[in-house]
Chains A and B, each alone.
Chain A
Amino acid sequence: MSVADAAGLAGRVLTEVEKAVVGKHDKLALVLAAVLAKGHVLLEDFPGLGKTLAARSFAQALGLDFARAQFTPDLLPADLTGSFIYDQREGRFDFRKGPLFTGLLLADEINRTPPKTQAALLEAMQERQITIEGETFLLPEPFHVIATANPVEYEGTYPLPEAQLDRFLLRVSFGYPGPEQEYDVVARRLVRRREEIDLDQVTDATGVLAMQAAVEEIEVDASIGRYCVDLVTATRQHPDALTGASPRGSLGLVLAARGFALLRGRDYVIPEDIKAVARPVLSHRITVRPELWMTQASGERIVDAVLSDVPAPPTLGGRRS
């Protein structure tokens, strides 16, 4: 699949999802860019802003198997991965797959489950395989996790540690809609006369893999790669940061920017792509100094600061062709 074809297909997916999630084009584009870049997404937002709806809509439009795991305090790793069950008739143990064996997993309220279960999920996200009792099971291709977290509830929650947050390519917040958009949500529901929203399947797992392969063809100029590294290095040197983004942050910037470029129909990345994805890619990878927790300092502000400080790639590339 060419980049232009992949861009057209991705555009149709986005249009379909926007039938369900109103007025969030830019945020949805970021989520799709992450999926195209083979990444996982953390949707962190207040309740009722369409996180679950967005995940389900993407699964429908992308034609991926969809599973939802509600992360509760009593959820065990085996509830996600699956486990061996004894088959009395056959006299042997059979593996019964858990919800991880799907195309798109919605990990709802991921911060409500203890670290042991979080770790099991995050390991699967990283390795794209799970090992149970010495036997390794490969997860299906493509496999993506869209996790949600509620930032306002603290009691009975287990915030993800920085090392595990790093596994998410992007952290996106939808935010509240404007009055017009909110009315649009109400009006559409009234016109629909029922709660469910039917979305057309735009592509399937094979199509998603083809789009992901097209993303791999997108060129990244050396000056852009160095710009990403400079941005990430600057987060480590910022006075408000206890720990900045890791090298996985540089890689995440480049990968997410390639997905973003594909959505724009380009087979090359421009510095503006990097700026567009820098906040969602880097802010959750930065730990603010503890003495600044009562101030306005945040990962987002540190990213904004480094974007306003690090020199952009030069105008002339110095190539002759």
Chain B
Amino acid sequence: MRGQTTGGTRAGVVAVLAVAGLMLVAVLAVWAASIGRDAVLSGDGPERMQIDTPTPTPTPSTSEGPGPPPINKLPSEPPAFFRVLALLVVAVFWLLLAVLVFFFLRGLWRQARLIRREAEAAPVEIDMLEPDQPARVSDQMERDASTQRALLEEGSPRTAIEACWHRFEVQAGEAGLARKSWETSSEFTYRMLDVVGADPHAAFTLGELYREARFSEHPLGEEARASARAALAAIQLGPRLRRASEEQS
């Protein structure tokens, strides 16, 4: 807001200066028009020269001719007030020009700065997984599997499913894969389960059950817990299969 106000004040000052300058020029023009051209241009005016043309002589015969014509200087000093006004107009003109150039250059500089800031502020964010991260997450899931299963059996189906889903975040956090604050729980957990190559169908099923448990108001029965149990078992099978294949290879 403060920036906005300052910008508004500056714009106001510029506008006032511009209007004042234009008004001065307009007043001068009106004054000049009202007193007439003769009065404006009266006085001595710029120095005028009068050249006396010689009368032609019929027989210029000798080298001692009439010579160059004499130049007579006429008195030509403009009135003092006119010179002051002229100076003022010129000064105002240059001042306005300088102000305009200043604002133009400042605008260009701001533009360049904004473009630079924009380029700096939006770095391409690439989520780079550490090479051993899938294995670490997978190990942590395996170590924590029984605790997670137990959470699914505690309390009402709604709270049990919520707690079971939340456990994935805990496991990932302990394995060094943190949830970003702007990520929804589902976005993060799907990302995590994708890292360990969990069964996508089971992950989707458990995710849908979690969303229903977390955000709905309708009753959630034991059949939801049973579905969640089956989905969790399929998800937990992933890390075990992964370990088995690693041991074989």
Q: Which A positions have Cβ atoms within 8 angstroms of B?
A: 219, 221, 224, 242, 266-272, 275, 291-292, 294-297, 307-317, 319-321
A320 close to B156 (CB less than 8 A): yes
Max chain B Cβ within 10 angstroms of own Cβ: one of A219, A242, A312: A312
Some 20 contacts from A to B, beta carbons below 8 A apart, are A221-B214, A267-B216, A267-B217, A268-B215, A268-B217, A272-B184, A272-B187, A294-B111, A295-B111, A295-B114, A311-B181, A312-B187, A315-B165, A315-B166, A316-B162, A316-B163, A316-B214, A317-B214, A320-B156, A320-B159
Q: A268-B212, A295-B114, A317-B214 are in contact. Are A310 and B182 (CB under 8 A)?
A: yes
Q: A291-B111, A316-B163, A320-B159 are in contact. Are A311 and B182 (CB under 8 A)?
A: yes
A272 close to B186 (CB less than 8 A): yes
Q: A272-B186, A296-B118 are in contact. Are A291 and B181 (CB under 8 A)?
A: no
Min CB distance, B31 to chain A, in Å?
39
B139 interfacial contact with A, CB 8 Å: no
Question: What is the number of residues of chain B that contact chain A, defined by CB distance less than 8 Å?
Answer: 30
B183 interfacial contact with A, CB 8 Å: yes
Instruction: Pick the residue among A268, A297, A320 that contacts B118 (CB under 8 A).
Output: A297
B181 close to A269 (CB less than 8 A): no
A317–B215 Cα distance when bound, in Å, is 8
A292 surroundings in chain B (CB, below 8 A): 114
B133 interfacial contact with A, CB 8 Å: no
A275–B163 Cα distance when bound, in Å, is 24
A309–B125 Cα distance when bound, in Å, is 13
A297 surroundings in chain B (CB, below 8 A): 118
Q: Which 5 pairs from chain A and chain B are nearest by CB?
A: A268-B216, A315-B185, A311-B181, A271-B184, A312-B184
Q: Which residues 136-186 in B have Cβ within 8 Å of A in the complex?
A: 155-156, 158-159, 162-163, 165-166, 169, 181-186
A309 surroundings in chain B (CB, below 8 A): 182
B159 close to A270 (CB less than 8 A): no
A313–B179 Cα distance when bound, in Å, is 12
A221 close to B215 (CB less than 8 A): yes
A319 close to B158 (CB less than 8 A): yes
Q: Which B positions have Cβ atoms within 8 angstroms of A?
A: 4, 107, 110-111, 114-115, 118, 155-156, 158-159, 162-163, 165-166, 169, 181-187, 211-212, 214-218
B216 surroundings in chain A (CB, below 8 A): 219, 266-268
Given contacts A219-B217, A275-B184, A309-B182, 20 further A-B contacts (CB under 8 A): A221-B214, A267-B217, A269-B215, A270-B215, A272-B186, A291-B111, A292-B114, A294-B111, A295-B111, A296-B118, A308-B182, A311-B182, A312-B183, A315-B185, A315-B214, A316-B163, A316-B166, A319-B158, A321-B156, A321-B159
B111 close to A317 (CB less than 8 A): no
A311–B218 Cα distance when bound, in Å, is 26
A317 close to B162 (CB less than 8 A): yes
A272 surroundings in chain B (CB, below 8 A): 184, 186-187
B115 close to A312 (CB less than 8 A): no
A219 surroundings in chain B (CB, below 8 A): 215-217
Max chain A Cβ within 10 angstroms of own Cβ: one of B110, B115, B181, B184: B184
A28–B9 Cα distance when bound, in Å, is 47
Min CB distance, A249 to chain B, in Å?
18
A317 surroundings in chain B (CB, below 8 A): 162, 214-215
Min CB distance, A274 to chain B, in Å?
9
A267 surroundings in chain B (CB, below 8 A): 216-218
Nearest B-chain residue to A317, judged by Cβ: B214
Min CB distance, A244 to chain B, in Å?
13
Nearest B-chain residue to A309, judged by Cβ: B182
A242–B114 Cα distance when bound, in Å, is 15
A272–B188 Cα distance when bound, in Å, is 12
A136–B232 Cα distance when bound, in Å, is 60
B185 close to A312 (CB less than 8 A): yes
B155 surroundings in chain A (CB, below 8 A): 320
A5–B138 Cα distance when bound, in Å, is 41
B159 close to A319 (CB less than 8 A): yes
A266–B208 Cα distance when bound, in Å, is 10
